C-alpha cells in the first residue's frame, strides 16, 4: 500500500525541494508499508529504515531553512518553519521510541507520518515556495508573505487546517501516551527500589538477574549452562573467522578423599580457592572460566592455539600448588593439586563442540591416569 502517489499537486516549483519531497514520500511509504503489513520481522531493518527517514528529514529541513534565508523570507515566518521542523523530529523520534507501549503502533505512526507529510508539503512548503517566487519577482518579503502565506481558495485552506489539526491531535495523543508511560515507569521503578536490596532501577535489576542465572552460586564464576552457550557461540565465531579455539578441563585430584577427610564445608572452601587461583591466570575479556561440574572447572580460550593453552594450563597447576592447601590423604602430594586436559582446534562450519570437549576430556583422563598433578593435551 502507498499512502502517497506523487502528482502535480505536490510540486512547489523549487527543484531541490521537490526532489527531496519525492524522497520523503518514498521513505514514508516504505516505512508505512513495513509497519502496516507486518512483513518486516527484522527490528534492525525497521530501525535502519526509520533512521534513514529521520536523517533525511533533518537534511531536508536544513536545506529549506537555508533556502528561505537566502531568499530573504521574513524572520518570523522562518522561525515558524524552524519550530515546526524541530517539533516534528522530536515528536516522531519520541513516538518511535515508545511504539512498544502503543496498542496499535503501526496505525498511530502511519497516521502521524501521513498527516504530517501532507500538511508539510501542501501547507508549509507550498506557502514557502509562493513567497520565494514573489520575492524573486521583485516584491518585498513582507508583501510576499501577506499575499502568499495563505492558500488561494477556501476549500484548500479548510483541507489544510483539517490536516494540521489531525497532525496536532496525533501529537497530543502521543504526548499523553508518553507521559502515561513515564508515570507508569516511575511507579514501577519506585516499587522496584522498595523491593531491591541493591536499590537499583528495574533495568539494573534485570541485568543482575541475568548475571545470576549465568553464575555458579558457590564459586561465583560462570555456571555450566552459560559455559555451554558460550562454547557454541565461540565455536561458530571461530569457524567463521578461521581462528583456533582451545579448551581446558581441570579436575581436583582426589577430591572425594578430601571431602571425606576434612568435610564438605572445607571442600567448598577448597573449590573456591582453586577457582580464584584459576581466575587469576585468565586475563583476556573473551576467556571464560566456568564450573563444569562437581570439582571440575572449564576454561574456554578463543583465538588460542594448543601451545598457548598448555602454557596457561601449567600456570593453573602452579597457582593451585602454591596455595598449599593440606591434603593428607592424597597419593600425589601432601597438598591439593589439579590435573588438566587441554585440547584445541581450528573449526570449520561443520565442527561439533562435542569433538572439542571429548578431546579435552580424553586428555584429562590421560593426565589422571599418568599420575595426576600434570597437564596433558590432545
Q: CB-based contacts of 249: which residues, under 8 Å, 6+ apart?
A: 292, 296, 297, 298, 340, 341, 357, 360, 361, 363, 364
- For 65, counting Cβ atoms within 10 Å of its Cβ (0-12 exposed, 13-18 middle, 19+ buried), the class is middle
The grid coordinates listed for 242 are 578461521
78: its cell numbers: 522562518
Name the residue with cell 590421560. Answer: 366
DSSP 260-319: HHH-HHHHHHHHHHHHHHHHTT--STT-EEEEEETTEEEEEEET--HHHHHHHHHHHHHH
Query: In this structure, are strands 288-293 and 338-345 parallel, antiparallel, or unpaired?
Result: unpaired
Q: Which of 258, 232, 259 minimizes the C-alpha distance to 245? A: 232
Give the catalytic positions in this structure.
295
Q: Please, what is the Cα angle at 169 between 94 and 122, to 5 degrees? A: 95
C-alpha dihedral (277, 283, 287, 292), degrees to nearest 10: 0
Alpha helices in 98-148 (DSSP H): 105-119, 126-136, 141-148
d(CA 79, CA 296): 70
Picking from 352, 211, 377, 368, the residue whose alpha carbon sits closest to that of residue 296 is 368
CB atoms within 10 A of CB 39: 9
Which region holds residue 300: left if phi is over 0, alpha if psi is between -120 and 50, else beta?
beta
Amino acid at each position: 500500500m502507498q499512502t502517497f502517489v506523487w502528482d502535480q499537486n505536490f510540486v512547489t516549483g523549487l527543484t531541490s525541494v521537490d526532489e527531496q519531497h519525492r524522497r520523503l514520500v518514498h521513505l514514508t511509504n516504505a516505512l508505512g508499508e513495513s509497519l502496516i503489513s507486518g512483513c518486516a520481522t527484522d527490528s534492525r531493518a525497521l530501525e535502519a529504515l526509520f533512521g534513514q527517514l529521520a536523517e533525511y528529514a533533518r537534511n531536508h529541513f536544513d536545506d529549506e531553512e537555508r533556502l528561505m534565508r537566502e531568499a530573504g523570507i521574513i524572520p518570523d515566518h522562518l522561525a515558524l518553519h524552524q519550530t515546526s521542523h524541530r517539533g516534528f523530529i522530536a515528536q516522531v523520534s519520541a513516538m518511535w521510541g515508545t511504539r512498544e507501549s502503543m496498542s496499535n503502533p503501526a496505525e498511530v505512526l502511519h497516521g502521524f507520518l501521513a498527516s504530517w507529510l501532507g500538511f508539510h508539503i501542501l501547507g508549509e512548503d507550498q506557502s514557502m515556495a509562493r513567497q520565494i517566487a514573489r520575492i524573486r519577482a521583485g516584491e518585498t518579503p513582507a508583501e510576499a508573505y501577506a499575499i502568499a502565506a495563505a492558500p488561494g481558495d477556501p476549500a484548500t485552506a479548510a483541507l489544510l487546517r483539517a490536516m494540521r489539526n489531525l497532525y496536532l491531535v496525533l501529537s497530543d495523543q502521543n504526548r499523553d501516551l508518553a507521559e502515561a508511560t513515564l508515570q507508569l515507569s516511575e511507579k514501577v521503578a519506585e516499587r522496584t527500589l522498595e523491593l531491591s536490596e541493591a536499590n537499583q532501577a528495574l533495568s539494573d535489576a534485570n541485568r543482575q538477574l541475568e548475571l545470576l542465572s549465568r553464575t555458579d552460586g558457590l564459586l561465583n564464576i560462570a555456571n555450566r549452562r552459560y559455559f555451554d552457550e558460550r562454547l557454541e557461540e565461540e565455536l561458530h565465531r571461530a569457524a567463521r573467522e578461521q581462528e583456533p579455539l582451545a579448551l581446558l578441563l581441570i579436575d581436583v585430584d582426589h577430591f572425594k578423599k578430601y571431602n571425606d577427610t576434612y568435610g564438605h564445608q572445607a571442600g567448598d572452601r577448597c573449590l573456591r580457592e582453586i577457582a580464584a587461583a584459576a581466575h587469576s591466570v585468565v586475563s583476556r575479556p573473551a576467556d571464560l572460566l566456568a564450573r563444569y561440574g562437581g570439582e571440575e572447572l572449564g576454561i574456554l580460550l578463543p583465538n588460542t592455539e594448543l601451545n598457548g593453552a598448555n602454557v596457561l594450563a601449567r600456570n593453573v597447576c602452579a597457582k593451585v600448588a602454591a596455595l598449599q592447601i593440606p591434603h593428607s590423604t592424597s597419593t600425589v602430594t601432601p597438598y591439593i593439586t589439579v590435573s588438566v586436559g587441554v585440547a584445541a582446534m581450528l573449526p570449520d562450519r561443520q565442527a561439533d563442540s562435542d569433538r572439542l570437549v571429548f578431546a579435552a576430556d580424553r586428555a584429562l583422563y590421560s593426565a589422571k591416569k599418568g599420575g595426576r598433578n600434570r597437564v596433558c593435551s590432545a
